[in-house]
């Protein structure tokens, strides 16, 4: 059964608390928190203060996706009782092993994201230390982009490696996921599905969550 992590990047920020409660009621497994700095990606989203404001409402645990340069300087700001994963980009970390250890030292699970042009082999030496690998199926920076199909091959490759080596990292996909392609990606071996516009642009968020949950449980 696949897990769903709606991305609040596509939420209505004027109604953020209410919308996060709705997706959590609808069965969200994680709240996907997209942090962008205008340097690593060509867009600025929001910082830890916005995420922490959600601590006041009933939410699923946070899955924090840091699309920022120098993540070591900021990742401590994103550690809360509700933070399950902190995910950094392979391309943004000069000393990736150190960054992963840094995340774990906060008692949080560590993930690494791969841009569409970054191969799975770039993680070969660190896969056994990871709790999660996030495969980007769009170029990071914006919600609402078209799914890049080559991501499916990366999911299959990661799934095969973890079976062969007995690793237990989760595989997450992010970008362009919708009700039509989620099942196919799950069959490739994916565990966690980020969906931004496909959830938050729906008329009824709770109902949309039920639709996703149904597809991911079949």
- Helices 205-217, 16-25: crossing angle, 10 deg rounding: 30
The stretches of the chain forming alpha helices (DSSP H) are: 16-25, 48-53, 96-105, 151-165, 182-187, 197-200, 205-217
121-160 binders of ligand DX5 (CB under 6 A): 138, 140-145
Residue reference for tokens 């991501």: 151
Q: Does 6 bind ligand DX5 (CB under 6 A)?
A: no
Helix and strand element counts for the chain (H, E): 7, 8
Q: Does 131 bind Zn ion (CB under 5 A)?
A: no
State both tokens at 12.
């209505």
* Residue 34 is among the residues annotated as catalytic for this protein: yes
User: Which listed residue (63, 84, 131, 174) binds Zn ion by CB under 5 A?
Assistant: 174
User: Which listed residue (2, 3, 9, 123) binds ligand DX5 by CB under 6 A?
Assistant: 9
Beta-bridge partner residues of 86: 64, 110
Stretch that binds ligand DX5, among 16-24, 46-54, 190-198, 203-211 (CB under 6 A): 190-198
Give the interface with Zn ion as residue ranges (CB under 5 A).
Answer: 34, 65, 174
Give the interface with ligand DX5 as residue ranges (CB under 6 A).
Answer: 7, 9-10, 32, 34, 65, 138, 140-145, 174-177, 194-198
> Which residues are the active-site residues?
34, 174
């Amino acid at each position: 059964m696949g897990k769903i992590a709606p991305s609040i990047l596509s939420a209505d920020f004027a109604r953020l608390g209410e919308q996060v409660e709705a997706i959590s009621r609808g069965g969200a497994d994680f709240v996907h928190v997209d942090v962008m700095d205008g340097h690593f990606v060509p867009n600025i989203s929001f910082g830890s203060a916005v995420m922490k404001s959600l601590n006041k409402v009933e939410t699923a645990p946070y899955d924090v996706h840091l699309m920022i340069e120098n993540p070591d300087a900021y990742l401590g700001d994103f550690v809360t009782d509700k933070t399950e994963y902190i995910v950094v980009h392979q391309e943004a970390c000069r000393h990736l092993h150190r960054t992963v250890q840094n995340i774990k030292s906060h008692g949080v699970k560590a993930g690494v994201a791969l841009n569409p042009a970054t191969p799975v082999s770039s993680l070969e030496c660190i896969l056994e230390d990871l709790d999660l690998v996030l495969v980007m199926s769009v170029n990071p920076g914006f919600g609402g982009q078209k799914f890049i199909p080559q991501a499916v091959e990366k999911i299959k490759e990661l799934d095969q490696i973890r079976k062969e080596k007995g690793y237990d990292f989760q595989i997450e996909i992010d970008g362009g996921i919708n009700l039509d392609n989620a099942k196919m990606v799950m069959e490739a071996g994916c565990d966690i599905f980020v969906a931004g516009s496909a959830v938050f642009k729906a008329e009824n968020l709770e109902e949309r969550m039920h639709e996703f949950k149904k597809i991911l449980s079949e």
